[in-house]
Amino acid sequence: MNRPTIADLSKAAGVSLSTVNRLLHGTGSVRQETVDRILDAADEIGFYGLGSLRARKRENLPHRRLGFLMQQSHRPLYQMWAEGITDAAARYADAVIETNVQFEDDLSPEAVATNLMKMGENADALAIITADHPLVSQAIDELRARGVPVVAYVTDLSAASRAGFVGTDNWKAGRTAAWFVSQTATEPGRVVPLIGSHRYQCQDISDASFRSYMREHAPDFQVAETILTHEEPENAYSIFRRLIDEEPDLRGLFVNGGGISGVLRAMRELPIERQRDIRIICRDIGPEARKGLTEGLITAALCHSIEKMPRQLIEVMLHLVERRNTASIEQRIVPFEIITPESIWT
């Protein structure tokens, strides 16, 4: 049997011979749906140049440069988020994406704004995780004027020029954390929310909704003033040790931000009987949180999806690149995951 020819392929795909030749030789653009139809036909008839066609399909795709500014390179959770982004970009079928993932360990707004502007020099779109601050908003305004859309990731920003937001429903997350504390505590007592910074909107909203639920549905519990950890495990450790000494009726801790490793270190120093009296809810699913869940020290982790969040983020960024001139803000709310000691995967 003679092997299929280019003419056979054009007939099987229902396109002109010149269209197939353009795709094979890379001499002109071909619509993506037409490329897919030719590839399907080539696979069906056993066309000898299938490998070349697949390579041409990739070359025919739009090429985009996307930048992602993360924080705290020492935190495993941020490393997991970065890995999820690069994996999602590599698997994306409708564009060739060049990713530039950077970490900013200096959390000052000056450092974040400077790094954001620098990354914007060589990016079609940017995504950022950062605390809300006027200096960051100013940088986003300037990038928008240059035609570089900026998407807030995980935590929203107040910048009017931000192009989008991809994150979870933080109001629901806070109320869910309160539900776990009130429903699983052995008896009413003191409950303490920990927060990394009030300038992280995701944390501030969760903190407010946590209190809202406790006022409505658990009035027998006493919710203490929110304590700042500044995202540092050592601070969280010292705070929790002090609470243990000063609050004999401590029943719950909402670790709403960084610091879970410090909390767990303090928890492991307690007698088992005391551990059983304290419910810990966190918003982390890094290695330390996973270990704490496995040990039964954490009651529940309310975490961002490592697979769904990056995929939604990349889709939003690519969509915004195609419509740079729009003034509207694109928002994607991705359901958070609830992990308990009985559902943790190993």
- pLDDT tens digits for 78-127? 999 999 999 999 999 888 899 999 999 999 999 999 999 999 999 999 99
Residues 54, 110 within the same domain = no
User: Is residue 53 a contact partner of residue 282, using CB atoms and an 8 Å limit?
Assistant: no
Q: Under 8 Å CB-to-CB from 323, ≥6 apart: which residues?
A: none
In a domain, 177, yes or no: yes
Residues 120, 268 within the same domain = no
Distance, in Å, from the CA atom of 313 to the CA atom of 128, rounded to the nearest integer, reads: 11
**pLDDT reported for residue 93:** 81
In a domain, 124, yes or no: yes
* Residue 182 CA to its chain's centroid (Å): 28
In a domain, 288, yes or no: yes
* Structural tokens at position 141: 């305004």
Q: Can you give the CATH number for the domain in which 250 is found?
A: 3.40.50.2300
- Number of domains the chain is built from: 3
User: Looking at residues 41-60, what average pLDDT do you find?
Assistant: 74
pLDDT in tens, 11-45: 888 888 888 888 777 666 777 788 778 878 888 88
Residue 156: name the closest of 169, 173, 175 by CA. Answer: 169
In a domain, 341, yes or no: no
Residues 174, 270 within the same domain = yes
Residues 30, 79 within the same domain = no
pLDDT(135) > 60: yes
Under the banding of pLDDT at 50, 70 and 90, the label for residue 276 is very high
* Structural tokens at position 123: 């990016």
280 has which bridge partners? 253
In a domain, 283, yes or no: yes
What 3 state SS string does the chain have? CCCCCHHHHHHHHCCCHHHHHHHHHCCCCCCHHHHHHHHHHHHHHCCCCHHHHHHHHHHHCCEEEEEEEEECCCCHHHHHHHHHHHHHHHHCCCCEEEEEEEEECCCCHHHHHHHHHHHHHHCCEEEECCCCCHHHHHHHHHHHHCCCCEEEECCCCCCCCCCEEEECCHHHHHHHHHHHHHHHCCCCCEEEEEECCCCCHHHHHHHHHHHHHHHHHCCCCEECCCEECCCCHHHHHHHHHHHHHHCCCEEEEEEECCCHHHHHHHHHCCCHHHHCCCEEEECCCCHHHHHHHHCCCCCEEEECCCCHHHHHHHHHHHHHHHCCCCCCCEEEECCCEEECCCCCCC
Residues 152, 267 within the same domain = no
Domain boundary among 21, 38, 60: 60
**pLDDT reported for residue 253:** 98
Mean pLDDT rounded to a whole number for the chain: 92
Phi, psi of 273, deg, nearest 5 = -60, -40
Domain boundary among 24, 39, 60: 60
Residues 152, 251 within the same domain = no
User: Is residue 128 a contact partner of residue 154, using CB atoms and an 8 Å limit?
Assistant: no
In a domain, 222, yes or no: yes
Cβ burial of 336 (10 Å; 0-12, 13-18, 19+) is buried
Q: CB count, 10 Å around CB of 178?
A: 28
Phi, psi of 41, deg, nearest 5 = -65, -40
* Structural tokens at position 243: 């609470």
Residues 198, 88 within the same domain = no
Domain with 43, as residue range(s), is: 6-60
Residues 48, 75 within the same domain = no
In a domain, 227, yes or no: yes
pLDDT(1) > 60: no
pLDDT(302) > 90: yes
Greater model confidence, 72 or 33: 72
Residues 74, 96 within the same domain = yes
pLDDT in tens, 219-235: 999 999 999 999 999 99
User: Looking at residues 157-171, what average pLDDT do you find?
Assistant: 96
* Structural tokens at position 16: 């002109």
* Structural tokens at position 68: 């992602």
In a domain, 67, yes or no: yes
Residues 44, 89 within the same domain = no
Under the banding of pLDDT at 50, 70 and 90, the label for residue 169 is very high
Residue 139: name the closest of 167, 149, 155 by CA. Answer: 149
Greater model confidence, 328 or 337: 337
Distance, in Å, from the CA atom of 243 to the CA atom of 238, rounded to the nearest integer, reads: 9
Residues 192, 239 within the same domain = yes
pLDDT(312) > 60: yes
Residues 143, 175 within the same domain = no
